[in-house]
Amino acid sequence: MAKFKKEGKKKLPAVSTASLPDIIFMLLFFFMVSTVMREVTLVVKIKAPEASEVQKLEDKSLVSFIYIGKPTSALRAKWGEADRIQLNDAFAEVNQVRDFISLKVEKIPEYKRKKHIVSMKVDENSKMGIVTDVKQELRKANALKINYSTRKMAVEEK
C-alpha cells in the first residue's frame, strides 16, 4: 500500500486585483449618473410659515415649485423691495406661470400627469395679492392640485 503524504502545505493563490479599477469606475459612473444636484438657486428670501399638520410629498419628480418672496439682499438694488415670483432660477411675471406649468407637465409621463402637484413656497410676510394672482394663473393652466410648503410648528415645553 502506498502512503499518501502531503508535501508541505500549499498556499492559496493571491486574489487578483486586476479588475478592481474597472469596478471602481463603474461605481463612480453609476453615482455620477444617478445623483441629482440641487436644481434651483433661490433669488428670493423665503421663511415658510409654521403649520401644525405637516406632511411630506411622496414623489418630488411630480412637483413643480413656485417661490414667492422679496428679492435677496444682493438683488434688491436691481429688483426693489416688492414681492417677486421665482420660476426655476429667474424672476418671472404672473403671466409666465401658465407656460412654466405647461412645460413641466409635458415632461411628466402621461400616466402620471394626474398626480402633478404645484408647490408654492411663499414667504410668511408676502402679500396675499400676488399669491392670489398666481393661483388664478394656475387655474387657467388647469393645475388644480396646489400645496403650500410650510415648516413644522415648534413644540412648546411646559
Kindly report the CATH number assigned to the domain that includes residue 94.
Answer: 3.30.420.270
What mean pLDDT do residues 124-130 have? 93
Measured between alpha carbons, how far is residue 45 from residues 53, 75, 79, 114, 140 in Å?
A: 23, 11, 13, 31, 27
Q: Is 32 helix (H, G, I), strand (E, B) or coil?
A: helix
Residues 42, 124, 151, 102, CA torsion sign: negative
Query: How many structural domains does the chain have?
Result: 1
In a domain, 29, yes or no: no
In a domain, 34, yes or no: no
Q: How many helices (H) and strands (E) does the chain have?
A: 4, 8
In a domain, 130, yes or no: yes
What is the pLDDT at residue 7? Answer: 67
In a domain, 119, yes or no: yes
As a whole-number percent, the residues of the chain with pLDDT over 70 amount to: 91
Question: Mind listing the pLDDT tens digit for each residue in 29-80?
Answer: 999 888 877 677 888 999 989 888 888 888 888 899 999 999 998 888 888 8
In a domain, 70, yes or no: yes
The pLDDT of residue 158 is above 50: no
